[in-house]
Amino acid sequence: MARPKVAFFDLSSCEGCQLQVTNIGAVLFELLGVIDLVEFREVLSERSAERYHLAFVEGSVSNTEAERRLKEIRARSDALIAYGSCATNGGVNGMKNGHSLVAAQTEVYAEHGAWFPTTSTRALHQLVTVDYMIPGCPIHPDEFIKVIKAALAGLPSPVPDYAVCVECKLNENVCLYDKGITCLGPITRAGCHAWCINNGNTCYGCRGLVSNPNRSGAAAVLHHYGLDAEQIVKRMTMYNAAMEPGNA
């Protein structure tokens, strides 16, 4: 039986999530034994398929050419998987949406800004149907393996809709707030095993917010711990600006 054709693509991104895939270790060789890897710019030079069983797309959409590419990939794929925060929630690229497009072009390309047409940042599901999402900046290897196994089997693999705090407490971490350090774990979607807190960092909300976040409660706590209004907005939108209503 033919192995399923799997392809990896990138739009506006740092390609860190592609690197995560190449870094997953020995399981990568097991994976390559059951799939037919037909496109992956970072590791393959040839292109060998017109249709894909699974198309993994990294990065957000930030110009009309990327939108055209994404729609073409979608049309050629049985299932489309958005991987990395840039793809699932706009990620850090979404910060651009708080500024005019001309200001963004000028900031990056100075007097040559007009040479590089741009649009507001959009996550993939804001433009096409997305079958699976692997949020995270970068993606967590365990979640990548979980999702590709589910996708190959045609099974669902929803992103958890409870807070990072749940995983953090299961790991028996001392809460950062008890150390006077702010954290977005209470309103951020779990699934990363509280990766940053386990490793001495704080949660910046890279996986996107839970579906019904208590924003005012979270803002009040952040304020209580010393953040002013501007800092609170910046913290909450660092990864999620493209998901704010009316901001895409």
> Judged by CB under 6 A, which of 164, 209, 236, 242 binds ligand SF4?
164
User: Of residues 55-84, which lie at the interface with ligand SF4 (CB under 6 A)?
Assistant: 58, 84
CA separation (Å) from 39 to 92, 129, 143? 26, 21, 21
Distance CA 190, CA 208 (A): 9
Q: How far is the CB of 231 from ligand SF4 (least distance, A)?
A: 17
Q: Is 206 in the site for ligand SF4 (CB under 6 A)?
A: yes
Q: Is 11 in the site for ligand SF4 (CB under 6 A)?
A: no
CB 203 within 8 A of CB 166: no
Q: How far is the CB of 201 from ligand SF4 (least distance, A)?
A: 7
Angle between helices 215-224 and 229-237 (to 10 degrees): 130
Distance CA 34, CA 1 (A): 11
Nearest to residue 240, comparing CAs of 89, 124, 107? 89
> Judged by CB under 6 A, which of 80, 186, 241, 243 binds ligand SF4?
186
Q: How far is the CB of 189 from ligand SF4 (least distance, A)?
A: 7
Q: Is 144 in the site for ligand SF4 (CB under 6 A)?
A: no
Give the residue closest to ligand SF4 by C-beta: 185
CB 138 within 8 A of CB 20: yes
> Judged by CB under 6 A, which of 66, 138, 159, 240 binds ligand SF4?
138
Q: Is 176 in the site for ligand SF4 (CB under 6 A)?
A: yes
C-beta closer to ligand SF4: residue 49 or 175: 175
Question: In the 3-class helix/strand/coil scheme, how is 175-191 assigned residue by residue?
Answer: CHHHHCCCCCHHHEECC
CA separation (Å) from 84 to 91, 113, 224, 235? 8, 27, 31, 19
Q: How far is the CB of 87 from ligand SF4 (least distance, A)?
A: 7
Which residues sit at the interface with ligand SF4, rule CB under 6 A?
13-17, 58, 84-86, 91-92, 136-138, 164-165, 168-169, 173, 175-177, 183, 185-186, 188, 192, 194-197, 203-204, 206-207
